[in-house]
Structure 1
Amino acid sequence: MTLHQFLLILRARYRVALMIIVVAVLSALAVSLVLPKKYVAETAVLVDIRSPDPVAGAGAVVPGLVAPSYMATQVDIIGGDRVAQRVIKMLKLDENPGTRERWMQATQGRGTMEAWIVESLQRRLEVRPARESNVINITYKGSDPDSAAQIANAFAQAYLDINLALKTEPARIYAEWFDEQTKASRAKLEVAQARLSDFQQKAGIVSSDERVDYETTKLSELSSQLTVVQGQTTDSQSKRNSRGDTVAEVMQSPLINGLKADIARLEAKVQETSVNLGANHPVRQRAESELASLKSRLASESGRISASIDTAYRVGKDREGELQAAVGAQRSRVLMLNKQRDELNVYRRDVEAAQRAYEAVSQSASQTRLQSLTNQTNVVRLNTATAPANPSSPKLLFNLLIAAFGGTLLGVACALLLELANRRVRSSEDLVQMLDLPVLASISSSGRSRRLPGSGRLALGNGSTA
């Protein structure tokens, strides 16, 4: 089919096409006027990558915020049931009698009204993130402009509340758990401190290090004294076993040395008088008597020195035994104190470990408690949805243009179908196609004739050919 034939068909069937176009436009007009008006309210929230956590720091980046899935997760949260349920509670939609009637009509009382309202809200809600930014647009479509704006703002506020709850609820749970652990750690610390105190009271320890140092010094002094006494006892024993006249005390005594000198002088005198005067001379006898007296004094003095040495030996042995017993007792006492100090150090380490555990748990509990009490999130509302002045649908002009375009296509198609169903000759090309014979001439209605080029055909003035 050529363009000329197509135009001839449209000219012949223009009434049908025009009627279809008019019907389509009138139908679109009627539908646009009958359909309820829909209003679109829009608000936006900004997801900040900086954390407002006072514990982690105001400029700290929250782990996971830079992940591509984070924005998709936030979109899913806004469109989720929890946010919609929060909107229902904020606006008290479940307390509206009209809402209950619509629920009964739609579901015949099956299910819950809250789930039906959630589904209705989500069906009219559109959440989409902006490209290459952290802004999320929240759009709600409703039949009333004020209600649409109110619900859009409620979704934004509910998302802020749920975002804060998602952040604080785990922290609150951890805070409760850490509080229990803090109580347990405090109880362990108190038990360890009580054990340490009881042991100190039982052992009478005030300062274990000073006491051990004192007892150790005392042991050293006793050991030194014992060493000195043992040396003295050994010296006394050696003097006891030697001859009395060879003892240093005897040899160094001035009295004994004087007596020895007097004895030597008298012995010489006796010897001299015995030679000169005879054995029975009174002078000689008196000299012998004095000599015997001096020798008696010398023997007495030497015996006294030997007795003193023996006494010193016995006293030294007794002192040595006493010091050995004292050293043994002191050594046992020092060993006992060292054992007590070791036990005390064990108790102290238990107290220190319990103290460190209590401080660590207490610090974590304080941090989680602060996080559970925070009232800030990383989400900020950029604007507030306002009631739209014009409805978003139905769009009358747009619908009429679509109807006109569609009606035109449908009218042309119907004209072609009618033409194919009842084929008629509209031009010489139709005769050539239908009869497969050459056209000699065409006669127009005006009576003039003209010869067709190339075939010797004659065109008549009325539009026919021969």
Structure 2
Amino acid sequence: MTLTQILLSIQARWRLVAGVFVLVFITLLALLASQPKQYKAQASVMLDVKSADPVDGDVIPALGVASYMATQVDLLRSERVLRRALTLLRAHESESTVQRWQEETGGQGDMLTWLSEVTLRRLEVQPSRESNVISFAYAGATPQVAAEVTQAITKAYIDTNIEIRVDQAKQYTNLFDARAKQLREAVEAAQLKLSKAQQEGGVLVSDERLDFETARLADLSGQVLAAQVSAGESGARTDISRGSGVKMQEVLNSPLLSTLTAGLVAEEARVADLATRLGENHPDLAKARANVAQMKTRIAEETQRVVGGVAVTDRLASTKLAQLRTAYDAQRLRVAQLKTLRDQLSVLQRDVDNANQAYSQAVAKAAQIEFQSQARQSNVTVIRSATVPARAASPNLRNGLLLSVLGALLLGVVVALTFEWLDQRVRHETDVTVMLGRPLLGVLPDADRVAGGAGRMTALRADLMKRLGMGVA
């Protein structure tokens, strides 16, 4: 149907539209008047999500604010908060509430759960899009009930928020206490291991002690080198003494041997002189020859003594060298052991330090969590407390009247168009071509609108006959 047809149909059936409108309007007004009044008490809370936590210093990241706000909205609507609020109000102890619960559920299930679901249907939670404020309202049968339930929900939400933090902190407190105990045992074990290693080493290894032992090792190394040189020289002199001891420097430099050698030369010169002047058997010659033999024996003995002294010196030098080598080897082993022990003790000391550091951190964190478990502060601030509403929120008479008028008018139009569709009539010249599929020859106006009565009808008839190509009779 075109707009013109719709308007003509409504115009033709205006009585039907008016009747339906009046009937529906009266019915809607009756329904509106029969509805019980509902009173809404509103409250608002603000969440501090940008300030650092006063205990651990944590800050909610910017990307997590939206999810945090959504979580808080869900928490406010949760059964845990509603059950807590209803428990504060002792709503489950009301006889009327118990009777209603038994009528609706037959006494099955948990009454607080059922009551929380009923309360949730009357609770409206609206988070702000551009701020950290959450507004909520509860619709009650009386102003006092609405205000009391809203106030209880506000308190239950704040208490639950604190309780969640405290419960988490208590759980972490037990965890950190157990961890701190394990770390303390680890510190004690590491310290015991370090003390045992120090006792087994017999010393407390330090860099100064190691430097002292290293310097002593260097000194022994120099002494060994000097002893090697001295032993080499003594060995060379000993080798020379075995071949020709009289050529040794010690023999040549001996004062006694020099005196004996000079006396031997003089005595041999005397023997030669006596031999030329006396006979071979002369007592003086024999005595002089005996003196020569005696002096040669003394020279040989003295030479042997000097050579023997060189051998003794060589043996002493060899013995000293061996002793110095033994001391050097022992000192080198000692330094190596000290280095190994120092490395071992350094590792053990690092283990002790690391265990102490981990234990200190665990103790500090445990103390922090313990403080959190005792803190009763929340980041939720009430910026609007629920008060007793002055007027009912529903039914809204103004909106109800407007909706009733619109609904009744719309239903009247629909009924009129329905009847028009069931009983279609020609109400406009275009309906002839559309509905009958025939060409339009002419239009006869309403006789009441023709001025002059029959005269106008005659004129109309003449005009019609003219259009049909017929003469006027």
What fraction of aligned residue pairs are identical, expressed as a percent?
36
Cross-structure match for 1:252: 253
Match of 2:87 among 86, 89, 92: 89
Deviation (angstroms), 1:391: 0.6
Provide the TM-score with structure 1 as the length reference.
Answer: 0.75
Match of 2:400 in 1: 399
- Asked if 1:194 corresponds to 2:199, the answer is no
- Match runs of 1:306-321 below 5 Å: 306-321=307-322
Contact 1:45 1:382 in 2 (8 A): yes
Question: Are 1:100 and 2:98 an aligned pair?
Answer: yes
Bigger mean CA deviation after superposition, 407-416 or 33-42: 407-416
Specify the alignment match of 1:140 in structure 2. 138
Closer, same or farther in 2 for the Cα pair 1:417/1:310, shift >3 Å?
A: closer
| Shift of residue 394, structure 1, vs aligned partner | 1.9
Equivalent position to 2:180, from 175, 182, 200: 182
More displaced, 226-235 or 121-130?
A: 226-235
The residue number in structure 2 matching 1:43 is: 43
5+ residue gaps in structure 1? 424-435, 458-466
* Larger mean Cα displacement after TM superposition, 131-140 or 352-361: 352-361
Q: Structure 2: which amino acid aligns with 1:44?
A: S
Name the CA distance, whole Å, in 2 between partners of 1:236 and 1:73. Answer: 102
Distance 2:7 2:357 in 1: 96
Aligned pairs for 1:44-63 (under 5 A) are 44-54=44-54, 57=57, 60-62=59-61
Partner residue of 1:426?
none
In structure 2, what residue type is equivalent to 1:358? Y
- Quote the residue 1:298 is aligned against: 299
1:153 corresponds to: 151
Counterpart in the other structure of 1:432: none
Which amino acid in 2 is paired with 1:243? S
> In structure 2, do the counterparts of structure 1 residues 357 and 238 end up closer, same or farther at CA, with 3 Å as the change threshold?
farther
Report the AA paired with residue 389 of structure 1. Answer: A
Does structure 2 conserve the Cα–Cα contact (< 8 Å) formed by 1:127 and 1:138?
yes
Q: Does 1:65 align with 2:70?
A: no
Structure 2 CA distance for partners of 1:24 and 1:184, relative to 1, 3 Å = same
Deviations 1:287-310 (A, max 9, x none): 666655544443333232123223
1:64-463 aligned at under 5 Å gives the runs 64-67=63-66, 69-207=67-205, 212-230=210-228, 231-232=230-231, 233-235=234-236, 237-271=238-272, 291=292, 294-366=295-367, 368-404=369-405, 406-407=407-408, 438=444, 441-442=447-448, 449=453, 451-452=455-456, 455=460
In 2: Cα distance, 1:25 partner to 1:381 partner: 44
Residue identity in the other structure for 1:101: Q
Q: Distance in 1 between matches of 2:374 and 2:362?
A: 18
**Contact 2:205 2:338 (8 Å CA) reproduced:** no
Relative distance call for 1:38 and 1:264 in structure 2 (3 A) is same
> How high is the TM-score relative to the length of structure 2?
0.74
Q: Which amino acid aligns with 1:255?
A: L
Q: Which amino acid aligns with 1:94?
A: H
Correspondence for 2:471: none
Could you say what secondary structure the match of 1:141 adopts?
Answer: strand
CA distance in 1, matches of 2:99, 2:225: 112
Bigger shift: residues 343-352 or 237-246: 343-352
Shift of 1:186: 1.7
| CA offsets 1:201-250 (integer angstroms, 9 cap, x no match) | 23322236555555555555555545544533524533542422112111
Pick the structure with more helix per residue: 2
Q: Secondary structure at the match of 2:54?
A: coil
Which amino acid in the other structure matches residue 116 of structure 1?
W
Q: Distance in 2 between matches of 1:135 and 1:39?
A: 22
Quote how far apart the aligned CAs of 1:331 are.
Answer: 4.9
Name which of structure 1's ranges 163-172 and 110-119 shifts more when overlaid on structure 2. 163-172
Per-residue deviation at 1:53?
1.3
In the alignment, residue 132 of structure 2 is paired with which amino acid? N
